[in-house]
Amino acid sequence: MSELVLINVSGRDKPGLTSEITGIMGQYEVRILDIGQAVIHDYLTWGILIQIPDASHSSPVIRDLLFCLHALDLQVRFAPITPEEYQQWAQGRNRACYIVTLLARDITAEQIARVSAITARHQLNIDNITRLSARPSLNVDENRTACVEFSVRGTPDNLAQLRADFLHLASEMNVDIAFQEDSIFRRNRRLVVFDMDSTLIEAEVIDELALEAGVGPQVAAITERAMQGELDFSQSFAERLALLKGLDESVLERVAARLKMTEGAEHLIRSLKALGYRTAILSGGFTYFARNLQRQLGIDYVYANELEIVDGKVTGRVSGAIVDGARKAELLLEIAKKERISHEQVIAVGDGANDLPMLSEAGLGVAFRAKPVVKESARHAISTLGLDAILYLIGFRESETNQQVQPPRDHDTGL
Label residue 389 exposed, middle or buried (CB < 10 Å: 0-12, 13-18, 19+).
buried
Q: What are the pLDDT digits (tens) for 32-63? A: 999 999 999 899 999 999 999 876 667 899 99
pLDDT at site 2: 83
pTM score? 0.84
Share of the chain above pLDDT 90, in %: 77
Residue 195 a catalytic site member: yes
Q: What is the DSSP string of 391-402?
A: HHHTT--HHHH-
Residue 197 a catalytic site member: yes
Q: What are the pLDDT digits (tens) for 369-407? A: 998 889 888 989 999 999 999 999 999 998 887 654 444
Cα 87 to Cα 383: distance, rounded to the nearest angstrom:
43
DSSP symbol at 74: -
Per the residue annotation, which of 165, 176, 197, 207 is the catalytic one? Answer: 197
Residue 177 — pLDDT band, cuts 50, 70, 90? Answer: very high
Amino acid at 338: K
Residue 328 — pLDDT band, cuts 50, 70, 90? Answer: very high
Per the residue annotation, which of 13, 42, 182, 195 is the catalytic one? Answer: 195
Q: Which of the two residues, 57 and 145, has the higher pLDDT score? A: 145
Task: Return left, alpha or beta for 400; rule: phi > 0 is left, psi -120 to 50 is alpha, else beta.
Answer: alpha
